[in-house]
Chains A and B, each alone.
Chain A
Amino acid sequence: MSDEETNDRGNTTEFVSLSAGDQGFCVPITSIREIRRWSQVTALPFAEDSVLGVMNLRGAVIPIVDLAARLGLGTTEIGARNIVVVVAIGPRIMGMLVDSVSEILSVNTETIRPNPTIRRDGGASHVTGLLPVDDIMLRVLDLDALFAREGEEAA
């Protein structure tokens, strides 16, 4: 989402808002493939703590990641109420375990505020912007940045 592109036209983008680790996030709807209920996964050896395992998505083997754990917000307590958001990151398909998914937001991209936090360890770099909705604030997630490390590990 480059700013130049969106300014003059005042483009609207659709986001899906979700919550993980008691925080509100949103993800561009274009990167979401589907949303499904939690089902049992097969654990992967030697995986990071945030990687819960792999799941069978109609014949494809996709990894399921605990979003909260990935963001350093503690592990999600797994129960039948949890939701798996299946996202496409480049050619990869993976699932993110979240607490809940709330709604689809049509957002004028101009209303997205830049992330003001400066953290030297880059821990917050996967939050590209802040989106005020009503009286709450949603963090716009950059999935590419968030899951990039996974790819490097694989290589």
Chain B
Amino acid sequence: MSNETLRDTFFAECEELIESLTEGLQVVASGAWDGETINAIFRAVHSIKGAAGAFGFTDLVTFAHAYETVLDLIRSDKLDIAPDVLRLITRSSDALAELVDTTRQQGSASLDPVRDLIGELEATAKDAKADTPPEPEFTWAPLALLPIEVEAPAPAQGFTIRFAPGASFYANGHEPVRFLSALDALGNLTVTCDSSAVPPLDGFDFDAGYLVWTLTLEGASDEEAIRRVFAFAEGLCTLDIAPLGDSTAPDLPEVEVEAAPLFIARAPAVDPPADPPADAPVTPAAAPPARAAAPRAPAPPVQTTLRVDPERVDRLINSVGELIINHAVISQKLESCGLGTDSEIMAALDDYRYLAREIQEAVMSIRAQPVKALFQRMGRVVREAGEATGKAVMFISEGEATEIDKTILERLADPLTHMLRNSVDHGLETAEKRRAAGKSEVGSVRLSAAHRSGHVVIEVSDDGAGLNRERILAKAMEKGLVPPDAKLTEPEIDNLLFMPGFSTAENVTNLSGRGVGMDVVKTTITSLGGKVGITSLAGEGSTFTISLPLTLAVLDGMIIGVGAETMVLPLSSVVETVRPQRRDIHEIAGELVLSVRGTYVPIVDLALLFGMRSAKGQSAERSYVLLDAGGASIAVAVDAIQDQRQVVIKSLEGNYGTVPGIAAATILGDGKIALIIDSEALVELVSPRRNARPLIELEA
């Protein structure tokens, strides 16, 4: 494994660790946390620190260390999670994530932006240490009572073992992993390796032992058994064994073990630093706070995941696509042989189709990933935006388990970032205005995801003032985006936000408001085959709704005939198909329009547009498909409407390039290629001709 791949693995792991860190902090923020939550948070930061040390990312280590110190104090109950502490550790988690990102991109990260934060962390740690009650406060009086209480939880107890083999350990031919596997047999073992002592290569002594393992053994009850494992290495390594939940002072209980006559008496000797001494003797049952209960709680089931090169999955998806096309080919061939649908082979072919579909769905689900990681990152964006604008913001995320295609997910980050910043910056009012409006001073920004009829719907909503339509319209007129005398409906005004060069911010802030933004958001979402919409209620807030396809690999299409060619229209943009009367088609200065229930829609002759010969010359004899794309409607004249079915998307870009008005290609049942029409691009392609309507000057 090259250093490069190792680094990639490191960053991939960091990502996972930060995810669990964020997750833990959310649990803490919600109040429903216990000792294991804090442990998990601590472990995540500790692991990042350890691994970063191994790669020589010293800045990362420095920050993680300061962070870890504070978490350790919380873990050992020396520091309460007061609101300011919670805010500190949440901010630190954001900063850590950012440091990791910067390190990944630039190979190193500067500590300058987090200097203050480190100071705060250190100050908090110092205060907490000073607050810790001095040793003499512990009274050992209850010792005689406690063994009875401890007996029950004892089997579920665990130990933290610090295992530091020295040079002589290795010289004697010992292998750390053997000890670890022996320990693993005793209970549920978690291994953390501290490699921070490993020197750079030039100072490396190959015989020395640099690695220190911190082992958490859950479910083991017998310290003697652990000692027996290490019996052969006695004197060759440094070994500290402490009951779980008290790794901070491993030396202290060590002394007590010697003194206590019974093993079970040792446990309470460890507890006092955590428990209020006064409570313990009187009501031992009520005494253990959350932390004491932690070792007893079963570890949450670890989800095992598989790391797979996305290219392999793509290959699989491609092959499955072929399989489905192949099915269509076979069935078409058999039909042309005159085999009826009731024949045995057709029935068997039906099974083939079901199986192929099933495989396809399963393969697609490999690519699908929950939006959780993305939403957590967005939480960071909202917090940052809140801080930058000085607004108190509560971030609510819903439907984090909703799964969506990985490619779509990756490309959602930028538009969502922009929308969330907008919501905080423009959507939410200032605290004073909120108070005046009788709202809570803390504004809320909600990000939600849900599956809805074959689509993923993502909503970004705020409880701010809502869109100021008058101002939007005035601004658009001022910028010449709409003629001054235009009469626009409310949705039309709302949609002005998506026009290039539009910005309502009175002051351009560094967060948003440079006039590039919402139009880019829209372009991105559109390129993913999705739609964006706005709803807004004055005084109650605005909601941006993004609707996305579940996957980019297949598409529900309407198969149409254009001249001699077969083409596909994305069903998502098809409104209806019409066979109009001759009197419904009007000519205006050489252009045709179709009247549909009182409105006039421009007609696009696909055959003409794409330079193909139409099979039927008479416009009234043709079928029309009404398309709605990008807020505009067009009627597409086609020669035939054949079918509606799911088609596998094949890119044209790889081998050829982009074609105006064409999104991609697909392969039909007869093995021929059909082009898939890009409805949005089609609207734009013909829009210069639609100057009759006021809105469109976008091309210029």
Decide whether A and B are members of one complex: yes
Residues of A with Cβ closer than 8 Å to B? 40-47, 51, 53-56, 58-63, 91-94, 150-151, 153-155
Q: Which residues does chain B contribute within 8 Å of A43, judged by CB atoms? A: 565, 612
The answer on a CB contact under 8 Å between A61 and B665 is: yes
Chain B's nearest CB lies how many Å from the CB of A55? 7
Measured between alpha carbons, how far is A56 from B673 in the docked complex, in Å? 6
Chain A's nearest CB lies how many Å from the CB of B454? 25
Q: Which residues does chain B contribute within 8 Å of A44, judged by CB atoms? A: 656, 659, 662, 675
The answer on a CB contact under 8 Å between B655 and A63 is: yes
Q: How many residues on B have C-beta within 8 angstroms of the other chain's C-beta atoms?
A: 29
Known: A45-B609, A151-B657. 9 other contacts (CB 8 A): A42-B672, A47-B659, A59-B318, A59-B322, A61-B650, A61-B656, A92-B655, A94-B656, A150-B657
The answer on a CB contact under 8 Å between A46 and B655 is: no
The answer on a CB contact under 8 Å between A91 and B654 is: yes
B60 at the interface (CB under 8 A from A): no
Give me 17 A-to-B residue pairs in the complex whose CB atoms sit less than 8 angstroms apart, sorted by A's number: A45-B610, A45-B661, A45-B662, A45-B675, A53-B673, A54-B673, A59-B650, A61-B652, A61-B667, A61-B673, A62-B655, A94-B655, A150-B657, A151-B657, A153-B657, A154-B657, A155-B657
B666's nearest neighbour on chain A, judged by CB, is A61
Measured between alpha carbons, how far is A60 from B654 in the docked complex, in Å? 10
A65's nearest neighbour on chain B, judged by CB, is B656
A51's nearest neighbour on chain B, judged by CB, is B656
Chain B's nearest CB lies how many Å from the CB of A148? 12
B671's nearest neighbour on chain A, judged by CB, is A56
B653 at the interface (CB under 8 A from A): yes
B319's nearest neighbour on chain A, judged by CB, is A59
The answer on a CB contact under 8 Å between A45 and B653 is: no
B322's nearest neighbour on chain A, judged by CB, is A59
Known A-B contacts A42-B565, A93-B655, A94-B655; the reply to A60 vs B650 at CB < 8 A is yes
Q: Which residues does chain A contribute within 8 Å of B657, judged by CB atoms? A: 150-151, 153-155
Q: Which residues does chain B contribute within 8 Å of A47, judged by CB atoms? A: 659
Known A-B contacts A40-B672, A56-B673, A59-B321; the reply to A92 vs B654 at CB < 8 A is yes
Over the window 284-327 of chain B, the binary record of Cβ atoms lying under 8 Å from chain A Cβ atoms (1 yes, 0 no) is 00000000000000000000000000000000001001100100
Known A-B contacts A46-B659, A59-B322; the reply to A54 vs B609 at CB < 8 A is no
Q: Which residues does chain A contribute within 8 Å of B62, judged by CB atoms? A: none
Over the window 336-363 of chain B, the binary record of Cβ atoms lying under 8 Å from chain A Cβ atoms (1 yes, 0 no) is 0000000000000000000000000000
Q: Which residues does chain A contribute within 8 Å of B612, judged by CB atoms? A: 43, 45
Known A-B contacts A59-B318, A59-B667; the reply to A42 vs B655 at CB < 8 A is no
Tell which of A44, A62, A153 has the most Cβ of chain B within 10 Å.
A44
B694 at the interface (CB under 8 A from A): no
Q: Which residues does chain B contribute within 8 Å of A45, judged by CB atoms? A: 609-612, 659-662, 675
Measured between alpha carbons, how far is A56 from B325 in the docked complex, in Å? 11
Question: What are the nearest 3 A-B pairs in CB distance?
Answer: A154-B657, A45-B610, A42-B673
Chain B's nearest CB lies how many Å from the CB of A43? 6
Q: Which residues does chain A contribute within 8 Å of B535, judged by CB atoms? A: none
The answer on a CB contact under 8 Å between A46 and B673 is: no
B612's nearest neighbour on chain A, judged by CB, is A43
Q: Which residues does chain A contribute within 8 Å of B629, judged by CB atoms? A: none
Q: Which residues does chain B contribute within 8 Å of A40, judged by CB atoms? A: 672
The answer on a CB contact under 8 Å between B656 and A150 is: yes
CB neighbors of A among B607-639 (8 A): 609-612
